[in-house]
Amino acid sequence: MTAIDTENRTAVARTDLDAVAAVAAAARRAFAVTVASTAAERATWLGAVADALDASATELIALADDETRLGTPRLTGELARTTAQLRLFASAVVEGSHLEATIDHPDPQATPPRPDLRRMLRPLGPVAVFSASNFPFAFSVAGGDTASALAAGCPVIVKGHSAHPRLSARTAEVVATALAGAGAPEGVFGHVTGRERGVALVQHPEIRAVGFTGSLHGGRALFDLAQGRPDPIPFYGELSAVNPVLITRAALDARADELAAGLAGSFTLGAGQFCTNPGVVLVPAGVDFAERVAAAVGSSAPVPMLTDGIAAAFAEGLAGLTAHDGVTVVAGETTQQPGTGSAVVLATTTDAVIADPSALLAECFGPSTLIVEYADVESALAAVRAVGGSLTATVHAEPGEELGDIVAVLTEVAGRVLFAGWPTGVAVSWAQQHGGPWPSTTSIHTSVGVTAMRRFLRPVAYQDAPDAALPPELRDENVLGIPRRIDGVLTVP
């Protein structure tokens, strides 16, 4: 079948529903190879994909700019991030600590007596990945979910996003060709399109886990499908976040203009189309911080948004906020032009937020921020608790301020707590955590950084197994040279 991308007037192949079953069956056959593959082999596959993407950069960036209007500089950086994270995973799988290899030798004197037990993490099986609209490289066909699943030893089937269909199709071709050239098994990577195909993928019995980045509504629907299967499977969804920021009075007294400029740059970055956008900012009452932010933004021309649907949702969210009795429009146009977004600064109080959190603390995906004035830190923290789960939470304070209570609450609601700077921008590293309590994500795991692999691995223990029957990672001789915990003691070669 063929679908027409109405915005770009381009014919895009749509996967037949019957083909989803064929792609899933191929992934299951490939799993018999990937589950037994070595870390060095998977590292080679990941490196080959990174090299192929770099070699195709000019073509892919031009396609991405045509379909997303994000601009060459942003897309060039995003593609570089994408290939860097592929290479990071290639390095990490060889290092081996992600496997949590653990050996407990037998101890007949223990209570109860302990047999020989050896445990490690093993790949789940074929994984479905849903591309995101706002990161056409880093969270798309060859993005972090795909990279981490392949690194873990799981075949991947990507559901391409309708916001950049030609880019998705071409990226999939580059990835598939690179994997084949590097010796990866047939079926280790697949690509499907169309909403119904995505639903079929989640429900297909060969799929053992799902990675998703997108809207709360769409993600919740797929999450329910994954949980409603005869054999429920993990659904790792990144869905919605307002990412609260708390600024102390001392910080404002010391550097109000600097903070205003930083916030303005953060919430307008990329037309506000970042999941880490600082949507709610708590400041002491009786200051002119909202006006300073408005001045830092200046006159904001409308910017094309990724899709007409995202623009319409942003306009609808703004309409709901600005219609609220407790909200004041400090700067910006409350009526947005179709297909675009322009910066809007709003203001309210903690009393209004606590009285009606569902109306004032919903994510408004686009270039807006809500400045919330608080009378004291206790009321500010009550408002932060009302926010609920977020990907990030930030505090701006001065040296020497007591932050214990603030940090405790921010840690309760977010997966990443910042003490300086602004949350837009997510480093890809071993220590990164990109995930938080519901509704920011559906799990406790990260979708960015090395431990993103943990989503697609499951623990298996071997009891009294002969050495030859064990995986190489758990045999007596550590031929792979990986970190292991032996009789409770972490050993690093």
Is the domain of 43 the same as that of 118? yes
* Of residues 317, 263, 225, 275, the one with CA closest to residue 439: 275
Continuous H helices in 182-245? 195-203, 216-228
DSSP 470-483: S-GGGSSS-TT---
Element containing residue 475 per DSSP (H, E): none
Is 44 contained in some domain? yes
pLDDT tops 80 at residue 10: no
Is the domain of 322 the same as that of 221? no
Q: Is 154 marked active-site?
A: no
Q: Final residue of a domain: which of 402, 418, 434?
A: 418
Strand 340-341 versus strand 189-192 pairing type:
unpaired
Is 19 contained in some domain? yes
Q: Which of 67, 78, 206, 238 is catalytic?
A: 238
Q: What digits encode the pLDDT tens for the residues 460-479? A: 999 999 999 999 999 999 99
CA angle, corner 124, sides to 96 and 17, nearest 5? 135
Is the domain of 345 the same as that of 233? no
Q: Give the span between the Cα atoms of 101 and 114, in whole angstroms.
A: 18
Is 493 contained in some domain? no
In which band, very low, low, confident or very high, does the pLDDT at 14 lie, cut at 50, 70 and 90? low
Domain containing residue 166:
2-239+442-457
Is 279 contained in some domain? yes
Q: Give the CATH number for residue 195.
A: 3.40.605.10
Is the domain of 42 the same as that of 172? yes
Is 132 contained in some domain? yes
Is 342 contained in some domain? yes
Q: What digits encode the pLDDT tens for the residues 141-187? A: 999 999 999 999 999 999 999 999 999 999 999 999 999 999 999 99
The label of the residue with tokens 């480093």 reads: 427
Per-residue model confidence (pLDDT) at position 12: 47
Domain tally for the chain? 2
Is the domain of 267 the same as that of 378? yes
Is the domain of 289 the same as that of 376? yes
Do 279 and 242 form a contact (C-beta atoms < 8 A)? yes
User: In 3-state terms, what secondary structure has residue 40?
Assistant: helix
Between 298 and 414, the more confident residue is: 414
Is the domain of 212 the same as that of 312? no
Is 480 contained in some domain? no
Is the domain of 179 the same as that of 264? no
CB within 8 Å of 59: residues ≥ 6 apart: 170
Do 71 and 65 form a contact (C-beta atoms < 8 A)? yes
Is the domain of 184 the same as that of 256? no
Strand 368-374 versus strand 280-284 pairing type:
parallel
Q: Give the CATH number for residue 346.
A: 3.40.309.10
Is the domain of 223 the same as that of 317? no
Per-residue model confidence (pLDDT) at position 301: 84
Q: What digits encode the pLDDT tens for the residues 74-116? A: 999 999 999 999 999 999 999 999 999 999 999 999 999 999 9
Q: What digits encode the pLDDT tens for the residues 311-365? A: 999 999 999 999 999 999 999 988 888 999 999 999 999 999 999 999 999 999 9
Is the domain of 63 the same as that of 155? yes
Is the domain of 308 the same as that of 447? no
Is 42 contained in some domain? yes
Q: Which of 78, 154, 206, 275 is catalytic?
A: 275
Do 153 and 123 form a contact (C-beta atoms < 8 A)? yes
Q: Is 398 marked active-site?
A: no
